[in-house]
Chain A
Amino acid sequence: MIRTSLRYHRPATPEESTAILVEYAGDVVVLGGGTMILPMMHRAEVEAGHIVDLRGLGLATVTEEGRYVRIGAMVTYGDLLDSDVVAREAPLLRRMAGAITGGNQLRNLATAGGAACYGNPSSDVPAVLVALGATMCLHGPAGERRVPAAEFFVDAFRTAVGGGEFLMWMEVPRLVVEVGYHKLKLCEGSGPIVTAAVVRDGGRTIATVGAASVTPLRFDLTSCVDSGVDTVDELIRDGVVNPWTDVLADGRYRRDVAGAVVRRAVADLREG
């Protein structure tokens, strides 16, 4: 039971949603999948008098739109796993979704968009969105606003989402690149310790490292990969200047293992 009074809103339009977020600013939260915010409200770690459920906005769809795949903010990990479009055009998203812990009972509720907006450094989602060059499409008082994923994650638990704004869609470019991925976790039920997505596009090889730092980090591996991967560990270790510490792992451990995780992602890319 959430112990404080709460008023539930299920707006039918983006404009109505923003109006509620503005009217109750400071005393309102956005409800996506709910798998993070509701336990936090149950434990009184988050208190709000109003909650805006995005279920009425038709955002639970995956569609092909020209050069990108559009993922609605209410698309669950289960939806990503069931989507033929995702399997064909954005297989890294499918792979990420399959590795989310908590069982299908959780993946049928939790949303990738919600994880992005929560901005937990120890999450699978931010680095994958950055690696794929996704665009975050927000709605707010000034209407639509588009933010590249690389600029969306500002700090631990801080994103570019401003007052009165909420996530509508994520636009993920269709796969025109080779991708390798590796996720290190303590056990089946653990969140990620470090993730790495390696993308080869044309002549460049870019690694995006997640959970090692407060926000995703990008590394140009082109010269390392061309000359063998021996220098990767040093490059990654030096690049993790603000390592992330939480209950799962100390930041120094994350920095130490990040290079190995990247090398495994490179190996995954090579093996196809």
Chain B
Amino acid sequence: MDPIGSAAPARTIALRVNGVELTTPIEDRELLVDVVRKRLRQTGTHVGCYNGDCGVCTISLNGKIIKSCLILAASADGGDITTIEGFSGGEELDDIQQAFWDEDGFQCGFCLPGMLFAARDLLERNPEPSEADIRQAISGNICRCTGYVNIVRSVHTAAQRRTS
């Protein structure tokens, strides 16, 4: 086995991150979430459990939401990533973010990036979700502040504004 440290197997991968093409050196053993945070400095993507439970590391990879602690960065080579920094595509809040703001859909904000990606994924598939649909859609995201009530309300408000 190779010794730990500078001799660890490494490579360079190409990514598109929030619309910007780039390359980055990685070690083969690095998880995508760690590359996103520590090498690409997109620290809006949070890291919690490293076990796929909490959902705070949720990003979009090639158009699908994923938990970025559950994939090696090497596996994502060539991929198109959107993090929370690129969520709205600009400096303004997008409509889902605005709904979370208006409905007090977060307290400490740690879970918020993952919640927003889960909410967008839901509304793209189901523009008029029921409360049960919303709760199901955020079942891969843990919030320890709110009890979820305002989060569910935020997603509902975002859906209503889109369809009204």
Does A associate with B in a complex? Answer: yes
Which residues of A approach B to under 8 Å, CB–CB?
A: 1-8, 10, 27, 31, 33-35, 38-39, 42-43, 49, 51, 53, 55, 78, 101-106, 108-110, 188-189
- Given A5-B3, A8-B28, verify A108-B66 contact (CB < 8 Å): yes
Nearest CB to that of B136 among chain A residues?
A: A188
Interface window among B49-57, B85-93, B97-105: B49-57
Size of the chain B interface, CB-CB below 8 angstroms: 41
Q: How far is the CA of A222 from the CA of B118 in the complex (A)?
A: 44
> Do B114 and A5 touch across chains, with their CB atoms under 8 A apart?
no
Nearest CB to that of B139 among chain A residues?
A: A188
Which of B7, B31, B141 is within 8 Å of A2, CB to CB?
B31
> Do B64 and A108 touch across chains, with their CB atoms under 8 A apart?
yes
> Do A39 and B70 touch across chains, with their CB atoms under 8 A apart?
yes
- Given A5-B8, A38-B31, verify A109-B66 contact (CB < 8 Å): yes
> Do A104 and B121 touch across chains, with their CB atoms under 8 A apart?
yes
Which of A2, A4, A33, A105 is within 8 Å of B1, CB to CB?
A4
> Do A102 and B140 touch across chains, with their CB atoms under 8 A apart?
yes
- The reply to whether the CB of B109 lies closer than 8 angstroms to some CB of chain A is no
> Do B71 and A38 touch across chains, with their CB atoms under 8 A apart?
yes
> Do A189 and B53 touch across chains, with their CB atoms under 8 A apart?
yes
> Do B29 and A6 touch across chains, with their CB atoms under 8 A apart?
yes
**Set of chain A residues within 8 Å of B140, measured between Cβ atoms:** 101-106
- The reply to whether the CB of B65 lies closer than 8 angstroms to some CB of chain A is yes
> Do A106 and B70 touch across chains, with their CB atoms under 8 A apart?
yes
> Do B34 and A103 touch across chains, with their CB atoms under 8 A apart?
no
Tell me how far the C-beta of B32 lies from the nearest C-beta in chain A, rounded to whole angstroms: 10
- Given A1-B34, A49-B1, verify A104-B118 contact (CB < 8 Å): yes
Q: Mark B118-141, 1 if CB is under 8 A from A, else 0.
A: 100100000000000001111111
Nearest CB to that of A108 among chain B residues?
A: B64
Tell me how far the C-beta of A39 lies from the nearest C-beta in chain B, rounded to whole angstroms: 5
Tell me how far the C-beta of B63 lies from the nearest C-beta in chain A, rounded to whole angstroms: 10
Q: How far is the CA of A34 from the CA of B68 in the complex (A)?
A: 11
- Given A8-B9, A42-B50, verify A103-B138 contact (CB < 8 Å): yes
**Set of chain A residues within 8 Å of B58, measured between Cβ atoms:** 105
Q: Give 8 CB contacts A-B under 8 Å.
A: A5-B9, A6-B28, A8-B11, A39-B51, A39-B52, A42-B31, A102-B52, A104-B137
